[in-house]
Amino acid sequence: KTFRPRKKFEPGTQRFELYKKAQASLKSGLDLKAVVQLPPGESINDWIAVHVVDFFNRINLIYGTMSEYCTEKSCPIMSGGLKYEYRWQDDNKYKKPTKLSAPQYMCMLMDWIEMLINNEDIFPTRIGVPFPKQFQQVCTKILTRLFRVFVHVYIHHFDSIINMGAEAHVNTCYKHFYYFIREFSLVDHRELEPL
């Protein structure tokens, strides 16, 4: 229910080539701190766009694999332990920060991100079409909210991840995500405190 089909990059485009570079680097066993660095001569916005879409796909898959354990009953509040509670606001249906269950929050989050990354005015895919001025701000908001998925999964559902034998994948994805957001200062350090 919460899994979304992957957004694909069109073969032959610059973003497809950047995506292939990023994937090849990850599969080669290189140091993740090095793989997140902007390749020489590449656009920072293209690099961020490729990673935001890739992280959306990966984190959506991680949550989708363990979503049966994250229910209205087990997780009535979207939180990261007792100290951190995350409320949903989208300036659309939820104009004020609203307390939601974790499954509701995740569903709203994935729909919201999918809408943004498929919006050509925010994530342009045509050659020569510039990114909007607020592009990195939008990405910061997306990545901050995706980080909250890691917080929730690690604190409330990591036993389920271990039981599925998926901890190595989740840990690698988290490290890649963490090094990327730190490399480009895309998530406020206060948001990182829960983990």
70 annotated ligand binder:
yes
Burial state string for 22-47 with b = 16 or more CB within 10 A and e = fewer than 16: beebbeeeeebeebbeeeeeeeebbb
169 annotated ligand binder:
no
Burial state string for 142-153 with b = 16 or more CB within 10 A and e = fewer than 16: bbbbbbbbbbbb
51 annotated ligand binder:
no
Residue 122, classed as helix, strand or coil, is coil
189 annotated ligand binder:
no
Tokens 């050659």 correspond to what residue? 127
Bridge partners, 88 (sequence order): 98
How many C-alpha atoms does 141 have within 13 Å on its Cβ side?
13
Where does residue 53 rank: exposed (0-12), middle (13-18), buried (19+ CB within 10 A)? buried
Phi, psi dihedral angles at 88 (to 5 degrees): -95, 135
173 Cβ neighbours under 8 A, 6+ residues apart = 55, 58, 59, 62
* Residue set of the binding site for Zn(2+): 70, 75, 152, 157
* Residue set of the binding site: 70, 75, 152, 157
